[in-house]
Amino acid sequence: MTEIAKPKPQITYQDSETKGRYAATLAGVAGEAELTLSKVSDTLIIADHTAVPDSMRGTGVGRALVERLIEDARAKGQRIVPLCPFVRAHATKNREALADVIQW
């Protein structure tokens, strides 16, 4: 059986002194998904909120946003407090693999 490849989301990041926002779009799909964060310090951030529009449900875009957040936090030597229920669920499922980057 052949698995149909899901389109890869285009993810951008906007940054301010105290906040950050990842936004994801999919070619040919209306809407934009987002993951927002608050910066506590240079090494500690809080994943606040993840929102995925109905048009993108089931595409993996939410997971892609969380994975990008984790990848960027690792690269910057940051730890993430998973306040957002979606990020917390992902972190709980992958607790051992994310022990270096998640702050419980």
- Cβ 35 vs Cβ 47: under 8 Å: yes
The yes-or-no verdict on residue 3 having pLDDT over 80 is: no
Q: What is the pLDDT of residue 7?
A: 77
Averaged pLDDT for residues 16-30: 96
Task: Please report, for residues 4, 26, 62, the alpha-carbon distance to residue 9 in angstroms, rounded to integers and kept in the order given.
Answer: 15, 5, 10
- β-pair partners for 26: 29
Q: Global pTM?
A: 0.93
Average pLDDT over residues 64-81: 98
- Confidence grade of residue 37 (pLDDT, cut at 50, 70, 90): very high
Domains of the chain: 10-93 (3.40.630.30)
Question: In this structure, how many other beta carbons lie within 10 angstroms of the beta carbon of residue 31?
Answer: 14
Can you give the pLDDT at residue 2? 56
